Chains A and B, each alone.
Chain A
Amino acid sequence: MKTPVHACRRNQHFIVLTMMILGVLIAGDLSSAMGNDAESVIFVRIPNKPDGQPGIYYEPFMYHFGRSAHVRGSQIVRLAPPAPNGRLTVLTEDFFGVEEPELSWDGKKIVFAGKKTAKDGWEVWEMNIDGSGKRQITRGMADVCSPHYLPDGRIVFSSTRHVAMTPERNRDEYDRDHARLAHRCNADGSHVEQITFNVSSDSEFIVMRDGRLLFQSWQHHGMRFHTSGASAFFTMNPDGTGFIDFWGNHRGGFRWKQREMPDGRIVFIDSVFHHCYGGGQLAMITPGDPDDPKTLDVLTPDVKKYGPDSPGGRYRDPYPTEDGRLLVVWSPKPAWSGYRNPDGPMVKYGIYWFDLDRRKVGQPVYNDERYQSLNPIFVEPRPVPRIVPDHGIEPEKKTGTLLCLNAYLGQLDKEAFIQPGQIKKVRIIEGFGINDEDPFFRTFPPGIGYSSFGSSSNSISNFEQKRVVGEVPVEEDGSFYVEVPADTVLHWQTLDENGMALQDALTWAWVRPGERRVCIGCHEHRTTIPDLSAVPLAARSGPVQLDPPPEERRTVDFRRDLTPLIESKCVRCHNDREPAGGLDLSHGNELVYQRTAVRSTGASAIRAAVFNRAYLNLSAAANAKLGKFIYPGFARKSPLIWRLYGHSFLYDAPVNQCPPDTPLSDEEKSLFALWVDLGAQWDNLPGKDEYPSYSRAESAKLAREHDRKILPLQTDAVAAAEIRCSECHDLSRVLAQRKTPPQWKETVDEMAAKRANWIKPQEVDLIASHLAKITTQAGLIRNWKICGPFDNSGGAGIRTVLPPEQTIDLQASYRGKGKRKAVWKSVTLDNPTGILDLEAHFGRLDSVTGFAYTTIESPREQTVYLRVSGDDMFEVIVNGKKVVQRLVPQPFEYDKDVVPIRLKKGDNRLLFKIHDFVGRWRLRARLTRSSSPASPAADVGLSVKVAETKP
């Protein structure tokens, strides 16, 4: 098959000549042969490693725990015609490694990231499509990926060059020194200019036909998408102005490899995590309303986005041709970095046509078992996108302006929580990657509840280091106008009258020097046009200047600012002798060694946390005895702050003030509030840390000591399970697993085999039986009387004392939400989970409050522990006394809150008031003897009665 094609190429001149002589008569016959040959595809192939494993960990924008994502031995090759019998030419024989070729608009040149020799860095290179004329474009860019031609002849690429330029913020949020950010340069490599500013990485740029850059930005900020961040599509002008989300920013997950189809649709790879060798589902979006799910068209629903199994294999790197065909990279076996296969790589990425009609992988183009083949581009001229001219950038300026037309405008959830007039100010905050001296201290404590993957030793939460650029007033019409430092990683918070954050922007953004950025609101629907009937009030008097020199930008560091305050004001009551409320804040700056782990990723990821006791206890996770004190990023929500102010800001209700006799000064209180709003950080001082911490050697020593302490054989089942399992697993989550006792045995056996030095063989049965026991829903309350629905619009149900709270009369009928009657109903739960689903009884409702009631008989006066999961919020009234208020919406999680309650001898009335704003409306409650999850209340003689009428 190869020969005729070759012959055809060799004879090309002759044929052209013949055509000229013979005229048009035979042109039809020849053109098909010519067309075949003229077509070619260029791609990257990477040899598998000598051990047979794939040679890729291939999301070039990221490193994996210090290892480069780049690979050696990768080649750019050309295949003509694009078919298995095509002729293959290696274009970069003489390179150490190459990546991500992109075609020029005329289809004649290629720009790519390349590393010439082992000693060189990764730089932008260019060559002709036949491999001739290689030319190094950039120099000294540190580490380059994702180069792409711009329509004006310049080149955009992603690079770590800025690391050297701004050492203070040179790390990303994982303390890796290589956030890759967008740069552009002239065709000859001159005039390199950084155009994106992010704590994490921006990469994979394409130029849409309208001239905007569409790229994927990894956005990590605090608790965004359960801490791992997300990569979504953003657009900006090629000069770095007008950065705005395009699609996917509100969904979580990871998506990349985007390309624009000739009809304007965007084809891309939808994934949930970066462990699939860049692979995932093939999907398309029609640019439109980002919140309209109809715009997402999943082309390959048989592909699972996550994990080692996927019936449809896994896709990556789609590339549309001008006539609407689609090249893809596909592996019949799912690619998954967590699994190794002794028989060679599971992942076999080859290049295929995608059959858009049948929505299946089509004809193969190139597939060689020895290689992973990636990044195909179809060689053809393409229409040059519009040139979006540089606009308004004044390089000599140090600032840009930001005018927001209406900070109240946003998406629905916000309108429900923020009342007109409530936003008084906006706080502009600068972000940094973490910069620890010793990377060993990228530690991973359990976090504050959301976290499965903490980020840094700077904090038990997941926030980057931040400092406050300043605050700007918000006018009555919601507008604000501010001049801020340019080319700086920024985000903002809307503030209430106490200067606490109402909302926290979860995307990092920036303005370019001289840019005049105007926003409609905060995350308004992007297909909605502004609606003003007057010039915004803030614009009438010019921007508020907020450009203090870096050293004057304020921050709160727990050690520097709060520890002294706690020592002088709090320790009197909250000490280790008689900790008030069980909260011990003593021992000042004495560091506590806490060994912990990244859950579910095994021993290698175990890290140490070194904080003081006050920090650990204040930021304790939700399943601690006393519930949460703080919600990082949300002072208004945080009970600690309520205590200090004597007021619950979320529900506008008084609470007991702390300290009771000598309240903190306003300034001190606001310091705590700011600390929480900025993410409740331990170390929030950008740059080199002056505070004492453990060295790597010291930490290793402590780790050994720690292990010695807890390694002795455990004979108590509770202790064994807690010590052995909770290193990596959250035991409250284990409760959700519906395993039988033999399955638990199997699981624990498996773990013991994996970590022989950790779980002793003698402990296996103990642990397994304990786990089996606690997953039998010990002490679960299954008999309820329920009443509802009452109105909770805007928190009405929380503020109002409803009749069942005063007297429980199971025959009574109340005026409920809307025109409904609220009466008591009996419910006996026979579902395995023991979840009381109030919507099943009252209908799918939002903004409602309801009651669940039961009686408990206790043989004596005693303290027992309620383990409650409430959705969204709940209060507990025991014998007519409100003992618990959990008024912060939080995810429904088994045994989320552990609440000690005092029972009297005889019958005890237990009333739950359950509030719902949006979504599900549920309750699950267990009674346990102690704070340990597996100590059924029956052990202490409690019996749950079917609630009966009590006059």
Chain B
Amino acid sequence: MNRFACGCIGWAVLTCSLAVGSAMAQVDRSPYQLAVSPDGMWIYTANRTADTVSRIDVKQGRVAGEFPAGKGPVGIAVSRDGKRVYVANRLDDTLSVMDAASGKKLGSVATANQPYDVAVGPRGTIFVSCLGKDESVQLIDPQSLSVVATVPVDPNPRHLLVSADGQQLFVTCDAYSPTRWVDVIDLAGRKVVDRIPMEMTSNLRGMAQVSPKVLMVAHLNPNPFTPLTQVQQGWVNANGFSFVFLDGREPRQVMLLLDEFTTYYANPYDIAVTPDGRWAFVTCGGVNEVVVIDLKKALQLVRKTAPHKRGDLRRRLSLSRQFIAARIPVGTNPYGIAISADGKRVYVANHLGNSVSAIDVAAREVISTIDVGHAAELSTLRRGEILFHSATICFQRQFSCASCHPEGHTTGLSWDLEDDGLGNPKNIRSFRGVKGTAPFRWQGEAAEIGANECGPTVSGAMRGQPLSPPDLEALARFVHETPLLPNPYRGPDGRLSQAALRGKKIFEERAGCAECHTPGRFTSGERVSVGLGRGRPGDLVLPNGETIAADEFDVPQLLGVWDSPPYLHDGRARTLMEIFTRFNPEDEHGSTSDLSEAELRDLVEYLKSL
């Protein structure tokens, strides 16, 4: 090694440490989404676990600066002139506005609960999707940095996309049901003018516009009514995208799968399309790959299929080889993706790999991988997080834990697992705040979340190769430690509203809820029958020979219950209110039938505050 080389390295080390700052050096960044500056010189990443934004110098291929953002930054956008960066901070309900060059904080806008994605309109208006309490898209004036409109949308709004003509805003609404929605907001009228149903989808995420009349949406294709007895042949989850045709012709949604007969492309998250509309790049978070779709071929396939048969395309595992042009291995758990304005480079945020991959569009290969910064060593928790998001632990890579428990939460769907016989699907439970609520699962058959629980899930439901004990421990730990999100129904100091206070009284006294939902974690840890599973199959025989009757359920904990519809073991109640108005006729599940409508509203208000 010569002196020149030494000098170069020394210079590089020096610059890096200057740019990043020593305080931040030991933290995983987890770049979630990214944005490219209009001139293509800079990339900005929203670093979810570091509460920062990284500014990457494309030419140098390295991080040139890292700036503090709010808590849990996930969405990011650059203003049209490239001078400002907007960041949606999911955990503290703010939008950070910063100077793109210096990272100087120009302002912070209080948004609705859980801002997730940011987009910028043609006149500079900032759009923020808020998926928490008030599911809406907020319009923020870039000058005054004030919310000028809040447009209510379908549940769980995720990604935003400004239409090519700048007249409309598309919102993927990842509702907790087999049908989800792409809402279309008319920007002039500031209201939803169209709701496009996305049938048999879950994990509805990123979009891209292929042409003025064609939109593309990434999602899973869940199959929740099929008993979960095998994973091959797309039995549980398949992975794909939908073309959404905006010219009014039916069918408006045509789904195609990315998957092949024996190899799956789990968890498609986000899409970038080349400016000529010819190629689409889709991040497949579960398998650490980006697939390149030949849009011409894919659209041809749709066109040559008779309209009434297009609905069947989503069931065919043999089609993807007709339009997948390449698959490009990238870093761990790629999430956000963006393309440079000239269409020559695609950048991928490797969420759990703490890096950004730069892909050359023409060569279809990664030309550089830019480290965004990571912890000194892989913690058990982080290792668990990676396993949780990895579909490669599943037989043929069909799905990851995160496919059914995105962000440790739930897709709201119900699945028919084998252990209690078939024909009795159970709603997916959120892991948020699960710690300390033993026993687990709907019938309380799991005493703890540990290797004993995760092992059979990986090798059983996922048919995966058995994990090593340290991996299992890490996975179980990550599940166990899934945090609760801040409750938006509480006042800033955790205070309850008047309605909630009235509801609390009903909960504890008149309705008798607290007898089982013991305050604290709001579970007694016991099994009870409230008449919900009677007469149905599903007696569960535990390995120790103990039998749990089909209508006996673990008293579910209620923390965070505001955010995990639908309710009851099979998801039959779409809202908290329905639990009492429709599914408690005999007062077996608390004495609620003599409560007035107003009292029930109070009770629900209290439940939401938990």
> Which A positions have Cβ atoms within 8 angstroms of B?
208, 210-211, 237, 242, 264, 287-289, 292, 386-389, 391-392, 401, 403, 405, 481, 516-518, 520, 525-536, 538-543
Q: Which residues of B contact A211 (CB under 8 A)?
A: 395, 465
Given contacts A264-B262, A518-B230, A539-B227, contact A388 B465 (CB under 8 A): yes
A518 to B230, CA, bound (A): 8
Those of B254-302 within 8 Å (CB) of chain A: 260-263
B418 close to A392 (CB less than 8 A): yes
Give the contacting residue for B316; candidates A242, A392, A527, A538; CB below 8 A: A527
Q: Which residues of A contact B221 (CB under 8 A)?
A: 529
Residue of B nearest to A390 (CB): B459
Can you spell out 20 A-B residue pairs with CB atoms less than 8 angstroms apart? A210-B262, A237-B463, A242-B230, A264-B263, A288-B261, A288-B318, A288-B321, A392-B229, A392-B460, A403-B229, A403-B422, A516-B227, A516-B418, A518-B422, A526-B261, A527-B316, A529-B238, A530-B226, A532-B225, A534-B225
Q: Which residues of A contact B463 (CB under 8 A)?
A: 237, 388-389, 391
Residue of A nearest to B226 (CB): A530
Q: Which residues of A contact B321 (CB under 8 A)?
A: 288
Q: Which residues of A contact B225 (CB under 8 A)?
A: 532-536
Q: Which residues of A contact B230 (CB under 8 A)?
A: 242, 518
Q: Which residues of A contact B318 (CB under 8 A)?
A: 288-289, 292, 527
> Which B positions have Cβ atoms within 8 angstroms of A?
221, 223, 225-227, 229-230, 232-235, 238, 260-263, 315-318, 321, 395-396, 416, 418, 421-423, 425, 459-460, 463-466, 536-537
Give the contacting residue for B395; candidates A210, A538, A539, A542; CB below 8 A: A210
Q: Which residues of B contact A542 (CB under 8 A)?
A: 421, 423, 537
B459 close to A389 (CB less than 8 A): yes
Q: Which residues of A contact B232 (CB under 8 A)?
A: 242
Residue of B nearest to A286 (CB): B321
A539 to B425, CA, bound (A): 10
B536 close to A389 (CB less than 8 A): no
Give me the 8 closest cross-chain CB pairs, A-B, nearest first. A529-B234, A539-B423, A532-B225, A389-B459, A289-B318, A527-B318, A542-B537, A527-B317
Q: Which residues of A contact B233 (CB under 8 A)?
A: 520, 526-530
- Report the minimal beta-carbon distance from A483 to chain B, rounded to whole angstroms: 11
Q: Which residues of B contact A525 (CB under 8 A)?
A: 316
Q: Which residues of B contact A288 (CB under 8 A)?
A: 260-261, 318, 321
Residue of B nearest to A531 (CB): B315
Q: Which residues of A contact B227 (CB under 8 A)?
A: 403, 516, 518, 539
Given contacts A288-B318, A530-B234, contact A517 B395 (CB under 8 A): no
- Report the minimal beta-carbon distance from A205 to chain B, rounded to whole angstroms: 18
A242 to B418, CA, bound (A): 14
B395 close to A518 (CB less than 8 A): no
A518 close to B262 (CB less than 8 A): no
A532 close to B396 (CB less than 8 A): no
A405 close to B422 (CB less than 8 A): no
- Report the minimal beta-carbon distance from A545 to chain B, rounded to whole angstroms: 13
Residue of B nearest to A237 (CB): B463
B315 close to A401 (CB less than 8 A): no
A517 close to B466 (CB less than 8 A): no
Q: Which residues of A contact B464 (CB under 8 A)?
A: 386, 389
Q: Which residues of A contact B460 (CB under 8 A)?
A: 389, 391-392
A535 close to B466 (CB less than 8 A): no
B465 close to A528 (CB less than 8 A): no
A/B pair count, beta carbons within 8 Å? 113
B418 close to A540 (CB less than 8 A): no
By secondary structure, the B interface counts as loop
Q: Which residues of B contact A517 (CB under 8 A)?
A: 229
A529 to B459, CA, bound (A): 22
Identify 18 new A-B residue pairs, CB closer than 8 A, beyond the known A535-B225, A539-B537.
Answer: A208-B262, A211-B395, A211-B465, A237-B463, A288-B261, A386-B395, A386-B465, A391-B460, A392-B460, A481-B423, A516-B229, A518-B229, A526-B233, A527-B233, A535-B425, A538-B423, A539-B422, A542-B537
A287 to B226, CA, bound (A): 24
A540 to B263, CA, bound (A): 32
- Report the minimal beta-carbon distance from A416 to chain B, rounded to whole angstroms: 17
Q: Which residues of B contact A392 (CB under 8 A)?
A: 229, 418, 460
B396 close to A210 (CB less than 8 A): yes
Residue of A nearest to B418 (CB): A516
A306 to B402, CA, bound (A): 53
- Report the minimal beta-carbon distance from A266 to chain B, rounded to whole angstroms: 11
Q: Which residues of B contact A538 (CB under 8 A)?
A: 423
Q: Which residues of A contact B423 (CB under 8 A)?
A: 481, 535-536, 538-542
- Report the minimal beta-carbon distance from A486 to chain B, rounded to whole angstroms: 15
Q: Which residues of A contact B235 (CB under 8 A)?
A: 529-530
B465 close to A535 (CB less than 8 A): no
Residue of A nearest to B396 (CB): A210
Residue of A nearest to B458 (CB): A389
Residue of A nearest to B223 (CB): A530
Residue of B nearest to A529 (CB): B234
B316 close to A528 (CB less than 8 A): yes
A853 to B463, CA, bound (A): 64
- Report the minimal beta-carbon distance from A558 to chain B, rounded to whole angstroms: 40
Q: Which residues of A contact B238 (CB under 8 A)?
A: 529
B421 close to A387 (CB less than 8 A): no
- Report the minimal beta-carbon distance from A287 to chain B, rounded to whole angstroms: 5
A541 close to B459 (CB less than 8 A): no
A391 close to B261 (CB less than 8 A): no
- Report the minimal beta-carbon distance from A671 to chain B, rounded to whole angstroms: 35
B536 close to A540 (CB less than 8 A): yes
Q: Which residues of B contact A536 (CB under 8 A)?
A: 225, 423
Give the contacting residue for B261; candidates A237, A401, A527, A543; CB below 8 A: A527
Q: Which residues of B contact A530 (CB under 8 A)?
A: 223, 226, 233-235, 315
Q: Which residues of B contact A518 (CB under 8 A)?
A: 226-227, 229-230, 422
A531 to B257, CA, bound (A): 14
A405 to B537, CA, bound (A): 17
Give the contacting residue for A481; candidates B234, B422, B425; CB below 8 A: B422
Residue of B nearest to A534 (CB): B225
A389 close to B416 (CB less than 8 A): no
B459 close to A539 (CB less than 8 A): no
Residue of B nearest to A528 (CB): B315
- Report the minimal beta-carbon distance from A328 to chain B, rounded to whole angstroms: 25
A538 to B537, CA, bound (A): 11
Q: Which residues of A contact B466 (CB under 8 A)?
A: 387, 389
Q: Which residues of B contact A541 (CB under 8 A)?
A: 423, 537
A532 to B416, CA, bound (A): 13
A386 to B395, CA, bound (A): 8
Residue of B nearest to A540 (CB): B423
Give the contacting residue for A529; candidates B223, B396, B536; CB below 8 A: B223
A539 close to B418 (CB less than 8 A): no
- Report the minimal beta-carbon distance from A341 to chain B, rounded to whole angstroms: 44
A210 to B238, CA, bound (A): 17
A630 to B191, CA, bound (A): 71
Q: Which residues of A contact B421 (CB under 8 A)?
A: 542
Give the contacting residue for A287; candidates B262, B416, B418, B537; CB below 8 A: B262
Q: Which residues of B contact A529 (CB under 8 A)?
A: 221, 223, 233-235, 238, 315-317
Q: Which residues of A contact B229 (CB under 8 A)?
A: 392, 403, 516-518
Q: Which residues of A contact B315 (CB under 8 A)?
A: 528-531
- Report the minimal beta-carbon distance from A444 to chain B, rounded to whole angstroms: 41
